Structure 1
Amino acid sequence: MEREETADRLGDRLLELDWSVDTVLERIGEEGQRALGRNSTVAADRHLGSADDPVATLTRLWLLQQKVGRAAADAALPGLVDDLTAAGVLNSEGASVEAAVDVRPYDSDDGTRGWVVSDLVNGLDGLPGPARPDYVLGISPASTSLAQMTIRDRIGSALDLGAGCGVQSLHLARHARRVVATDLNPRANELAAWTYHLNDLEIDQRLGSLYEPVAGERFDLIVTNPPYVMSPPGTERLVYREGSMVADGLVEAIVRGSADHLTNGGTLQVLGNWAILDPDRWTERLADWIPPGCDALIMERERLDPYEYIEIWLADAGLAGRPEHAERYREWLDYFDSLGVRQVGMGWLQVHRSGSEVPDLRIEQWPHAVEQPVGPAFAAHRTAVAYARRGDSEILATNWRLASDVIQETIGDPGAADPRHIVLRSQRGFRRAVEVGTALGGVLGACDGELPLGVIIGAVAGLLDADAETLVAELLPRVRQLLADGILVL
């Protein structure tokens, strides 16, 4: 209770000072913000100058991880320094105070605002990487990416699986009546509790691995950025990024087990990576993970060779330039060789418990630019798949229209009477495109919601002097794909 009261008082003070992203950005400037993104505090420190007002003090204390004078700390946090020290949030010694954990403002494009508590930022100004296996990562590109891909429909229940510092729960609490947050790392649960109390949120926290803490429960939405890094066994692991399963077994277990914890129509969304053993058959391997009765959309955003992958995570662990770097590198390569890992895919996985006897499984490489946040595109995909499942007669009897963001691009030789290629391209969401010929182009051009598709195809068949039934049989598979792609909508 003392910790909760201290957290409530700290939250009230941060709100009183308006210690927010906008306020801090105004004080440290765009250069300071960008430099902090590169783990350098110099630019922000220079912008703050000699200021010692409360906002400057808190910014130095937590974002720049500098020691501040006790008098300045007391002025910024009146009556709180000793309590925060006792709670392990600050270290206070003599005439100076420094951060023991990270507290920072958070702001997102879906309206989520507040503060997030985690361990201190790694590698700031060249300092070494994580010093403890139970390190709790703060706001990161991965957490931001997961937040951007999450569907924000109003729902009854949501599960933040492997919640870490709790940033996803901040988002989920805005559109889910009930949020459960789990983690197997006790320290993560402890720091996430600070996050929740600072933001005056009631989150059901539970300790445990994978779905164990929610056995027998179902949720409308499950989101997770699990510890997916595939590191060799027998080495010290960082809990926030590495599990104990072989290769990508942790991500596989989350996907395979999802159906038992999703409500009818519920969705699992994962940011993760997967091993590619055979580059020609990688989609088949992932398709095997999908539970019966579930649709899936898996989009590989990036593919790395083992050397690229290993170098990224050795650097993340702070091992670059250290004596053990070469040995760890070799261990990792040997591990991948033993498993037959030839490449690593990284990206998005969505599983939708549709209940369909014929699941829609779409697994593809998609390194192209998308509209962010991309969550609405994932939501639209579920609807689009339902459209594409309709029977032939229903599709033909429906008044479809081209999505409002679709534009036509033509490619041809200069001076030529007709283009060589006509492409319809969506400007929103996943920004998919399709090349169309004369017949399909004519049909789609007339899809404005005024006439049923069957009538339009019949009219185009007449203009082309083609058999209408033959044209229907030719175009229906293309139309289904356009429905699934969101190019045609109701």
Structure 2
Amino acid sequence: MAPLDERTTDLVRRLGDDLRAGGFTVEALDRLWGADAAAALHRGERVPARRILDARRAAHDPAADLATLAELFVLGLPVPEREAAHALPSLGVDGAVELELLMRDAATTTRAGAAGDAASVRPLLDLRPYAFVDAHGDGQWWILSDLGEVALGHELGEGHVLGVGGASMTLSGLMLPTPVRTVLDLGTGCGIQAMHATRFADRVVATDISLRALRLAQLNVAMNGIEGVEFRLGSLFEPVAGERFDRIVSNPPFVITPRAPGVPEYEYRDGGMVGDGIVEAVMRGAAEHLEHGGIAQLLGNWEVRDVEDGLDRARGWAGHLEHWIVEREVQRATEYAETWIRDGGTRPGTPAFDRLYEAWLDDFERRGVREVGFGYVLLRRPAEETAPRLARVERLHGPLGSGAGAGGLGVHLAACLEAHDRQARLDDAALAAQRLAVAGDVTEERHHWPGDEHPTAMLLRQGGGFGRVVSLDTGLAALVGACDGELPVAAIVAAIADLLEVDADALAADLLPAVRALIDDGMLLLPAE
């Protein structure tokens, strides 16, 4: 896809300058309208925020430009042209119209129903600040996308380009922060994953089937002064045929949608395949596009059928690649249908909703789908054919650890992968010689019946990462409690065996697999190399 021309690049950089000068940040908006209005906006309700802006304007609040930007681009409301011109001094209204960011509308009604000025402007795009923290520190960008249902006043169009949502933030938080040369962002949408990938990659290729999405992604990259991203138009891996990458990231359009007349197919969420076929296609296709040691990370859905478990199906899609697949939640087929029909803007209790609901349930019934799982997929092409293989499939439906948001789960995943590779290369004798330490976020819980001397349950709890909880028996609890980085595992096992009056070799055979699992989970740490 051709890069932006010089004129467009200049305009979009002027826009960035105006947003920066206007203090258009997440923190500033939260201060502008407060926590209650911000929470309402997250629920898709803009009335509280609009009322607060009106009150501030009536009181001649000095943050007039920020309020104008917020009213236009976050609330999606028209404003007098003179106010827009004041808030965008470098770009100007003419430049904003040229960028197709604003349009003039002389007959617009503004401000709580009052007649607007003779010259008013209204937004054609959503534009809002986005703040994040990753392994490289904190950052803030501005993201352009299509106007949402609230601003439009009607259902979304099938070519809608989504902004930063919950799924995209989940994937960006999962990205391994380790430096690489090349990254493929498959299905880039508004470009948010490609932008995050530039934080750790020399070169990023971003693809999408939507020309409009690629255009907005180009604008976002330019507006935020990001370099090193190449955009290509096409479906799945077609734009990168014959190429390999160190990392592949994808938030594919994985929503399972009936392929039936009258059912909208939104480009940002529907891959055009039957059932969970799009996730299967991405997972199977990744093998041909990863360098040795390369890793693919994606989000996905998998159908749980009457005769087939969803995670078993996802495991099969990994083929010969190493894999770590985590199921985070499961929805009943009925709940799933309701969620995604509402997501498109169709309201419950209407004939349109009922018609779509029937189509969804018919589609699920044809394949015997009872539930739909959602989760994270990590695939790796082995760096060495003789290396021990990573093959991990698990259900982790509980809350994440409280520390998971500090830099994202990506830091935790990277540490766990490194720990797995190290412990997998150690035979039992070499593992027993290691001096292990308990991770700093791990605590132990003991539960007693009142008056009992011995605990009825012992639990090891992880404060960060996936927030895992592991049940302990007496031997494992004693071993973990003694792992302070000073004594080798073998010495600890021998002391425990002597105390419990059991055979040391038999106890080691029982405990070492559990030790390996705790290392894989990041709960026990190997010494630094």
Short-chain TM bin: over 0.9
Aligned to 2:288: 260
Letter in 1 for 2:393: I
Asked if 1:464 is matched to 2:500, the reply is: yes
Deviation, 1:338, is 1.0
Deviation, 1:170, is 2.3
Deviation, 1:316, is 1.0
Contact preservation (8 Å) 1:387, 1:483 = no
Letter in 2 for 1:375: G
Contact preservation (8 Å) 1:112, 1:171 = no
- 1:332 to 1:280, Cα distance in 2 relative to 1, 3 A: closer
Contact preservation (8 Å) 1:222, 1:267 = yes
Letter in 2 for 1:121: G
Instruction: Identify the match of residue 365 of structure 2 among 331, 334, 337.
Output: 337
Asked if 1:315 is matched to 2:342, the reply is: yes
Instruction: Identify the match of residue 149 of structure 2 among 117, 122, 125.
Output: 122
Distance 2:314 2:412 in 1: 21
Letter in 2 for 1:303: V
Deviation, 1:109, is 2.2
Aligned to 2:328: 301
Contact preservation (8 Å) 2:302, 2:311 = no
Asked if 1:105 is matched to 2:129, the reply is: yes
Contact preservation (8 Å) 2:416, 2:519 = no
Asked if 1:383 is matched to 2:418, the reply is: yes
Map Cα deviations across residues 259-283 of structure 1 (whole Å, 9 max, x no partner): 2222232221112211111487333
Aligned to 1:360: 390
Asked if 1:220 is matched to 2:231, the reply is: no
Asked if 1:487 is matched to 2:514, the reply is: no
Contact preservation (8 Å) 1:123, 1:318 = no
Instruction: Identify the match of residue 409 of structure 2 among 374, 384, 389.
Output: 374
Instruction: Identify the match of residue 270 of structure 2 among 242, 257, 265.
Output: 242
Which region of structure 1 is more displaced relative to structure 2, 345-354 or 51-60? Answer: 51-60
Deviation, 1:416, is 0.9
Distance 2:440 2:253 in 1: 39
Distance 2:207 2:360 in 1: 29
Distance 2:480 2:128 in 1: 50
Deviation, 1:385, is 1.8
Map Cα deviations across residues 198-229 of structure 1 (whole Å, 9 max, x no partner): 10112211111111112222222222111111
Distance 2:487 2:242 in 1: 48
Distance 1:415 1:166 in 2: 60
Distance 1:166 1:134 in 2: 16
Asked if 1:174 is matched to 2:199, the reply is: yes
Letter in 1 for 2:33: I
Aligned to 1:12: 17
Distance 2:380 2:440 in 1: 26
Identity rate, percent: 39
Aligned to 1:204: 230
Aligned to 1:449: 485
Deviation, 1:333, is 1.1
Distance 2:246 2:48 in 1: 44
Asked if 1:191 is matched to 2:216, the reply is: yes
Aligned to 2:111: none
Contact preservation (8 Å) 1:128, 1:318 = yes
Distance 1:96 1:340 in 2: 54
Contact preservation (8 Å) 2:315, 2:325 = no
Contact preservation (8 Å) 1:388, 1:481 = no
Distance 1:328 1:302 in 2: 24
Letter in 2 for 1:69: P
Deviation, 1:245, is 1.3
Asked if 1:133 is matched to 2:158, the reply is: yes
Contact preservation (8 Å) 1:6, 1:80 = no
Distance 2:165 2:334 in 1: 23
Letter in 2 for 1:119: D
Instruction: Identify the match of residue 394 of structure 1 among 419, 427, 430.
Output: 430
Aligned to 1:76: 87
Letter in 1 for 2:123: A
Query: What TM-score, normalized to structure 1?
Result: 0.95
Contact preservation (8 Å) 2:302, 2:310 = no
Distance 2:306 2:512 in 1: 33
Deviation, 1:91, is 0.9
Contact preservation (8 Å) 1:156, 1:176 = yes
Aligned to 2:36: 31
Distance 1:278 1:379 in 2: 35
Aligned to 1:47: 52
Distance 2:350 2:222 in 1: 39
Letter in 1 for 2:211: P
Distance 1:472 1:170 in 2: 48
Structure 1: gaps (5+ residues): none
Deviation, 1:352, is 2.5
Distance 2:121 2:93 in 1: 8
Letter in 1 for 2:133: D
Distance 1:87 1:466 in 2: 76
Structure 2: gaps (5+ residues): 107-118
Deviation, 1:64, is 1.1
Query: What TM-score, normalized to structure 2?
Result: 0.88
Contact preservation (8 Å) 2:493, 2:508 = yes
Q: Secondary structure at the match of 2:458?
A: strand
Letter in 2 for 1:226: P
Which region of structure 1 is more displaced relative to structure 2, 267-276 or 452-461? Answer: 452-461
RMSD: 1.9
Which region of structure 1 is more displaced relative to structure 2, 105-114 or 300-309? Answer: 105-114
Letter in 2 for 1:19: F
- 1:279 to 1:148, Cα distance in 2 relative to 1, 3 A: farther
Which region of structure 1 is more displaced relative to structure 2, 78-87 or 62-71? Answer: 78-87
Instruction: Identify the match of residue 315 of structure 2 among 260, 264, 287.
Output: 287
Aligned to 1:473: 509
Letter in 2 for 1:186: L
Map Cα deviations across residues 98-127 of structure 1 (whole Å, 9 max, x no partner): 100111111112223110000002235x93
Q: Secondary structure at the match of 2:162?
A: coil
Q: Secondary structure at the match of 1:117?
A: strand
Q: Secondary structure at the match of 1:470?
A: helix
Distance 2:295 2:178 in 1: 11
- 1:331 to 1:323, Cα distance in 2 relative to 1, 3 A: same
Letter in 1 for 2:376: W
Letter in 2 for 1:427: G
Q: Give the number of equivalent residue pairs.
A: 487
Contact preservation (8 Å) 1:396, 1:452 = yes
